[in-house]
A and B are shown apart, each in its own frame.
Chain A
């Protein structure tokens, strides 16, 4: 079975600083990878996804992530944090075999310090 590890359940950064949220997956076959964001009292929204092709993918709100097969990682970054980025972020990996089940990480709560 797939597993996803998000290092750091809580991350705090200053406004304007670099955001780095870490995600590692366990799979011998490159899966499809997703980052979702959850704001309070809302459902999850897709930030970005990697399926095939370019390993650096850009998403909404200035976020991007890089798929690194050798490191089995898919870390999420944003060059300059904004107060509105405060939320919980989830990394997810598709099930092997192409079915639609997603395995989610435990989430990272991002706090922005003014």
Chain B
């Protein structure tokens, strides 16, 4: 079965540019999570959706970040404008719902802002 699919795997862009990260969750999963991983801050939850509705976006750093889930099979995380401090690995994860269920992670997007 296909796991969580993220694209692109790597993105290098200049400061000020718009960046869009994409995620296709596992079919049938109701919940989708966006995380950011850095050496300094570890793994941080940015936002999570349940049934395509944002439930908790308290981890979104600032207004430059936005996330959407237009349907059950697709989500985007957008940064506009991007800054060098946004450089990190961004992970998408999906889950079938329920606190006792594990999340399934994609392989991440490594983002470098120059």
Interface residues of A (CB under 8 A from B): 31-32, 34, 36, 41-46, 49, 51-52, 90, 94-95, 97-102, 104, 106-107
Contact = CB atoms under 8 A, between A and B. Distances in A.
Contacts, number: 58
13 contacts: A43-B4, A43-B91, A43-B93, A43-B105, A44-B93, A45-B105, A94-B100, A98-B98, A100-B33, A100-B98, A101-B45, A102-B103, A107-B43
Interface in B59-114: 91, 93, 95, 97-108
B69 to A, nearest CB: 15
B102 A34 contact: yes
B106 to A, nearest CB: 5
A46 B42 CA distance: 18
Contacts of B103: 44, 100, 102
B102 A46 contact: yes
